[in-house]
Structure 1
Amino acid sequence: MRFYSRKLIKPEDLNSNGTLFGGSVLSWIDEEAFIFVTCQLDKGNVVTKYMTEINFVSSAELGDIIEIGMETIKFGKSSITIRCEVRNKFTKDIIIKIDEIVFVHLGEDGRPAPHGATVPQN
């Protein structure tokens, strides 16, 4: 797993308990996953199709720095499946784990289309 993105937890990222709001981190994950997959396929016309269970393992607090990691699991003809972990940069405590996020490459007609990729890009 490679960690590509870091975020500073700011007041606007907190929930009513004073910890990281799940909706904020899920938005960051979706954006980072899109960027990761676009780089893997060298194509930008992809959409999120499916996410497995989102496992909230721990939380983060104001001032924490978190990092978002992605790893390619497999390639289908028109899909790519990745895995994601979010962790505290300094303690390495896992905050969120998602075992599978599936993206589908779309053709010009908006339907799934072969992407032609078979190995992960750097």
Structure 2
Amino acid sequence: MRFHTRKWIKPEDLNPNETLFGGRLLEWIDEEAALYAIIQLENQRTVTKFISEINFKSSAKKGDIIEIGIEPVSFGSSSLTLRCEVRNKMTRDVILTIEKITMVSLGDDGKPKPHGKSEIEFVKDRLENS
């Protein structure tokens, strides 16, 4: 799994228990999954269709640095399914896992659009081939 994004937990990210608010973390995960899928599918009109069970394993507190990891699970004709893990950067303790986040590529009409992808591509490889 590749960990692309780090977040520093600040006071405004906390719940009344003084730990990371789950809704804030889910916002960050949804944005990370969207960016990953948009880059892979080469379509800015990519949306979240499904998020499976969210498993909170531990918490984070003010001052912690967390990192969000995303990895591909499978490609559909118009979708990309991802897996996510969030962990504490310093201790490597897992904070959360999500087994499936399905992102769908849309056409201009707002309906699912086939993307023609079947494997992960890296931008550097696309640039070398152009």
Percent identity between matched residues is: 58
Which residue is equivalent to 2:43?
43
- Give the paired residue count: 122
| Cα distance in 1 for residues equivalent to 2:106 and 2:80 | 12
What is the CA RMSD across the aligned residues, in angstroms? Answer: 0.6
| Structure 1: tracts of 5 or more residues without a match | none
Which residue is equivalent to 1:12?
12
- Report the alpha carbon displacement of residue 35 of structure 1 after superposing the two structures with TM: 0.4
Q: Tell which structure's C-alpha radius of gyration is larger.
A: 2
| Cα distance in 2 for residues equivalent to 1:92 and 1:79 | 30
Letter in 1 for 2:34: F
Which residue is equivalent to 1:32?
32
| Structure 2: tracts of 5 or more residues without a match | 123-130
**1:10-59 CA-partner distances (Å, limit 9, x unpaired):** 00000000000001100000001100111111221111000100000100
After TM superposition, the score normalised by the length of structure 2 is 0.92
